[in-house]
Amino acid sequence: MTKIEKIVLSYSGGLDTSIILKWLQETYGCEVVTFTADLGQGEELEAVRAKAKMSRVKDIRIVDLREEFVRDFVFPMLRANALYEGQYLLGSSIARPLIAKHLVGLAREVGADAVAHGATGKGNDQVRFELAVNALDPSIEIIAPWRKWNIRSRMQLLEYAEKHHIPVPSDKRGEAPFSIDANLLHTSTEGKILENPAEVAPDHVYQRTVDPVDAPDTPEIITIGFERGDPVSVNGKAMTPAALLTELNGLGGRHGVGRLDLVENRFIGMKSRGIYETPGGTILLTAHRGIESITLDRAAAHLKDEIMPRYAELIYNGFWFAPEREMLQALIDQSQAFVSGEVTLRLYKGSASVISRTSPCSLYSADLVTFEESAIAFDHHDAEGFIRLNGLRLRNWAARNGR
Ligand code: ARG
């Protein structure tokens, strides 16, 4: 084993990474630099600095990545209408390559030879972090303490914390908290009672959306502006990507939009159950499909829908920085050249529904589709021939079957 001189740790200040920090310092006897990204998780980041300081970290980095996160990761993914297994908006999956990118950048800057993360050995996140680091800088070593040390359970983790006087957080009820991952796109909650998919999730797991039952009785109408596939304004007000998503999270949360109780298939092999809250993302997905519905050609739209599950799976499995994801992205991005205009939605008791859409680049032709007399020449005899030719093989097939 080559001697490690300096490690950059992806540090949240939570229980796991606090213990990992201690363990790295003891095991490797070298300097550990902590890296904490502000992705809009809504945590007090100055408290994180204080914690790192208490653990004698000299180089503490806390970086606001909210705009980069939404502009360069969330929005490109949204252009594809990406959903994993038909439902999951990939809120945790899409944050990992961004964090990995900055871990690698910082490792180079401070001359570290390794990066470390606190993802456990059973989850997707370890795969995503490490595949991204591999793709960005194969010379950097990766330390995954959860796969190295002999702590095997949360119970043993708590014992280690006690022994080393590391404070153990508890939730508002004084219980050990759920496993939570939050950022501007979503809050994901896993573990404890949720591990039994037969159990109904208790009300207190939800953090940023009200129960649709308790949402306002009056619907709220909002308009989202799009330019070349990306949302740029809410109710006529131009906003930066992070500000826009923050605004929609507030609106959606108040109306109970974007809750999901899901059993998903992890890349690593097992099924897992989690609760997701993605208020702004859910509104944006619906709105984006709305603006695409009038601006995309049929075949272009259908091709996008064909590749979408594959693209979403690549992100879920950690292949953001892989050539095939970049190839699909190029295809998706090219499709968005005319995806501009405005979509109006109604938020009401957990739903976000499109109620109108307009675009200067619309392909929609009222003249063509109208039930009334039309100015555009459409020869109804063409439809007759169209059906006759499409039906040719069906008539042939039915005759052979003796129908
Ligand atoms: N299962 C989700 C995913 O793989 C979320 C993982 C992180 N969430 C958590 N609560 N630890 O993307």
Model confidence pLDDT, tens digit, residues 191-211:
999 999 999 999 999 999 999
Q: Which of 142, 177, 212 is the last residue of a domain?
A: 177
Q: Which atom of ligand 1 is nearest to the CA of 123?
A: 4
Domain presence at residue 164: yes
User: What local confidence, expressed as pLDDT, does residue 2 receive?
Assistant: 77
Same domain, 185 and 114: no
pLDDT at 104 over 90: yes
Q: Is residue 298 part of a domain?
A: yes
Q: Is residue 21 part of a domain?
A: yes
User: Which residue, 177, 208, 238, sits at the end of a domain?
Assistant: 177
pLDDT at 221 over 80: yes
For residue range 334-365, list pLDDT tens digits in order: 999 999 999 999 999 999 999 999 999 999 99
Q: Give the mean pLDDT of 379-396.
A: 96
Q: Which residues line ligand 1 (CB under 6 A)?
A: 92-93, 124-125, 179-181, 188-190, 272, 274
How many beta carbons lie within 10 A of that of residue 353, not counting itself? Answer: 12
pLDDT at 355: 98
Three-class secondary structure of residue 401 per DSSP? coil
Q: Is position 87 within any domain?
A: no
Q: Are residues 21 and 113 in the same domain?
A: yes
**Pick from 232, 228, 260, 261: nearest CA to 247:** 232
Mean pLDDT of the chain: 96
Give the pLDDT of residue 403.
Answer: 80
Partners of 391 in the beta sheet? none
Instruction: Respond yes or no: is residue 16 known to be catalytic.
Output: yes
Q: pLDDT per residue over 5-43, tens digit each?
A: 999 999 999 889 999 999 999 999 999 999 999 999 998
For residue 377, being part of any structural domain is answered with no
**Residues 106, 207: one domain?**
no
pLDDT of residue 336: 98
What is the per-residue pLDDT across 136-158, written as a single tens digit (0 to 9) for each? 999 999 999 999 998 988 889 88
Mutate to test the pocket of ligand 1, among 39, 89, 179, 181 (most ligand atoms within 8 A of CB): 181
Model confidence at 176: pLDDT above 80: no
Are 259 and 159 contained in the same domain? no
Active-site residue (options: 92, 179, 188, 335): 179
d(CA 388, CA 384): 6
The verdict on residue 195 lying in a domain is yes
Give the distance (Å) from ligand 1 centre to CA of residue 382.
Answer: 53
Give 225's strand partners: 233, 342
**Contact status, residue 113 vs residue 142, Cβ threshold 8 Å:** no
Please report the atom of ligand 1 found closest to the CA of residue 188.
Answer: 10
Distance of CA 209 to the CA centre of its chain: 17
Q: Give percent of the chain with pLDDT exceeding 70.
A: 99
Same domain, 187 and 211: yes
Task: Look at residue 133 and tell me if it is in a domain.
Answer: yes
State the pLDDT confidence band at 244, using cuts at 50, 70 and 90.
Answer: very high
Catalytic residue selected from 61, 79, 96, 128 = 96
100 and 247, same domain (yes or no): no
From 177, 203, 233, the end of a domain falls on: 177
- Is the same domain home to 204 and 317? yes
Strands (E), 246-376: 259-265, 271-277, 341-348, 351-358
Residues 278 and 336 in one domain: yes
pTM higher than the cut 0.85: yes
Instruction: Kindly name the residue from 61, 92, 125, 357 that is annotated as catalytic.
Output: 125
For 50, residues 6+ apart whose C-beta sits below 8 A from its C-beta are: none
Q: Which atom from ligand 1 is nearest to the alpha carbon of 190? A: 10
CATH number of domain containing 286 = 3.90.1260.10
5 and 29 Cβ atoms separated by less than 8 Å: no
Do 191 and 165 lie in a common domain?
no
Measure the CA–CA gap between 145 and 19, rounded to whole angstroms: 10
Q: Could you tell me which residues come within 8 angstroms of residue 365 by beta carbon, excluding any fewer than 6 positions away?
A: 376
Instruction: Give the CATH number for residue 172.
Output: 3.40.50.620
Range of the domain at 119: 6-66+92-177
What is the predicted pLDDT for the residue at 374? 79
Q: Partners of 233 in the beta sheet? A: 225, 238
The answer on pLDDT for 62 being more than 90 is yes
Active site residue 179: yes
How remote is the CA of residue 182 from the centroid of ligand 1, in Å? Answer: 9
**Cβ(94)–Cβ(82) below 8 Å:** no
Q: What is the pLDDT of residue 173?
A: 66
Q: Whose CA is nearest to atom 6 of ligand 1?
A: 92
Mutation to probe ligand 1, out of 10, 15, 92, 195 (largest number of atoms < 8 A from CB): 92
For the segment 73-85, the average pLDDT, to the nearest whole number, is: 99
DSSP assignment string, 97-162: HHHHHHHHHHHHHHT-SEEE----TTSSHHHHHHHHHHHH-TTSEEE-HHHHSS--SHHHHHHHHH
Residue 152 phi, psi dihedral angles, 5° rounding: -115, -10
Do residues 166 and 190 both lie within one domain? Answer: no
Gap from CA of 91 to ligand 1 centroid (Å): 8
Within-domain flag for 345:
yes
Q: Which atom of ligand 1 is nearest to the CA of 266?
A: 4
Average pLDDT over residues 228-257: 98
Note whether 221 and 346 are within 8 A (CB): yes
pLDDT for the residue 153 = 84
Number of domains in the chain: 2
- Is the pLDDT confidence value at 172 over 70? no
Sheet containing strand 220-227, strands side by side: 237-238, 230-234, 220-227, 341-348, 351-358
pLDDT at 375: 76
Question: What is the per-residue pLDDT for 1?
Answer: 63
> Looking at the structure, do residues 208 and 316 belong to the same domain, yes or no?
yes
Do 109 and 212 reside in the same domain of the chain?
no
